[in-house]
Amino acid sequence: MKAIDKSDFSEFVDNLIEDDDREVVGVQKKDSKFAFDPLYESDDLRLDYDTTILPPKKYFMPQRETLIEYNIEKGETTPVNRVVPRIILGVHPYDLVAIGQMDKVFEDTHEDPYYLEKRRQSVLVGVNMENVSDKSFASTMGTATIDSGYDLMLTDIGDRYAIEVGSSKGSSLLEQAGAAVDDAKPEEIRKVKQFKEDLPEKFRSDPEFDPFELPSLLKEYYDNDEFWEENSEDCLSCGTCNLVCPTCYCFDVKDVNDISLSEGERMRTWDGCMLEEFAEVAGDENFREEKAARYRHRYMRKGRYMYNRFGDIACVGCGRCSEQCLPDIADPVDIFNQMKEGTS
Ligand code: SF4
Ligand code: SF4
């Protein structure tokens, strides 16, 4: 384990920002919330945030991106992959777990060069959570602390940051800090260990389920129409719970022609299974016309379908969905607790 004085860390970040090779993004305060955004000075970086509005997935899978440019008159198509090499500062462990899950998805079957190239050209600097959002249940989901999935991982230990190195990318980045980095002292290593041991107390204590019983609980509840109808009654089908989720990756692909109709772009944009038109197909059919069916699908995907395919529970407990759902019906803890209680 390494360590660096906080003042030296700020200087290190300022040097990275000045270096034009890579964009540096980090968590910053935006009004009363926090967000990942390009960083122009180290003073704006907030490593003590509780949660961000959107997860860092937006850097690997932007809300809108061009996949192909085409010219119909000339019969030409040009693949486009706009990759910005990036250093992302201050990623919480649950978001790093989610990125690891997304990597598996985009590497599976047909590798997705748009996502994967952006991932390859990014450096992830994590930070252990000092403050925890009221809605987060990451400790229940086993994502409050991690041993891998980052290039560097910081822990605030007072006047210094302890730094765990997780990859060769991380160690090359750290070399740029030069002599400011030294080996962590034994008491600093102990502080990090203690910090991680104390962390679970900061999270919600109301989850009553074990994440690995979710696949069987969800299987049991699949045909319980009344349960899904009652819980989804107030759903606005706005899709917010999908869009803010670090493990949701669905997208739509559309051709957007320019006004001359001779040129255009094939775009991909975020999509979400809670939106009414998500499962609409040709012939005016919709496989999930009822909001209860969409609501059920979202939970099945989080706790069962992804587990069956990749062995992962696709909820990392960040709490963003419940924080941002207007009618307050998107809290996974509420649904999973109800299931657990109903089967005990
Ligand atoms: S559960 Fe909430 S956030 Fe999700 S679609 Fe329904 S209203 Fe929107
Ligand atoms: S389902 Fe909700 S709590 Fe779970 S990872 Fe997605 S946004 Fe976070």
Same domain, yes or no: 193 and 119: yes
Same domain, yes or no: 198 and 269: no
Same domain, yes or no: 96 and 9: yes
Cα of 315 from ligand 2 centre, angstroms: 5
Q: Is residue 139 part of a domain?
A: yes
Q: Is residue 74 part of a domain?
A: no
Residue 274 alpha carbon, nearest atom of ligand 1: 5
Q: Look at the chain and report how many structural domains it folds into.
A: 2
Same domain, yes or no: 22 and 95: yes
Q: Which domain holds residue 182?
A: 2-61+79-202
Residue 98 alpha carbon, nearest atom of ligand 2: 5
DSSP state, 328?
Answer: S
Q: Is the pLDDT of residue 152 over 90?
A: yes
Q: Whose CA is nearest to atom 7 of ligand 2?
A: 245
298, 287, 306: which is closest to 242 by C-alpha? 298
d(Cα 225, Cα 291) in Å, to the nearest integer? 11
pLDDT per position as a tens digit, 204-225: 999 999 999 999 999 999 999 9
Q: Is residue 70 part of a domain?
A: no
Q: Is residue 66 part of a domain?
A: no
Helix then strand count (H, E) for the chain reads 12, 14
Contact residues of ligand 1, CB 6 A cut-off: 235-241, 274, 325-327, 329-330
What pLDDT does 179 receive? 80
**Where is the domain boundary, 140, 174, 202?**
202
Q: Whose CA is nearest to atom 1 of ligand 1?
A: 330
User: How many CA atoms lie less than 13 Å away from 332 in the CB half-sphere?
Assistant: 31
Same domain, yes or no: 253 and 302: yes
162, 167, 151, 212: which is closest to 190 by C-alpha? 162
pLDDT interval class at 106 (50, 70, 90): very high
DSSP state, 302?
Answer: I
Q: Is the pLDDT of residue 261 over 90?
A: no
Same domain, yes or no: 53 and 175: yes
Ligand nearest to the CA of 328: 1
Same domain, yes or no: 6 and 147: yes
pLDDT interval class at 157 (50, 70, 90): very high
Same domain, yes or no: 110 and 218: no
Same domain, yes or no: 98 and 188: yes
Ligand nearest to the CA of 240: 1
> For the whole model, what pTM was predicted?
0.96
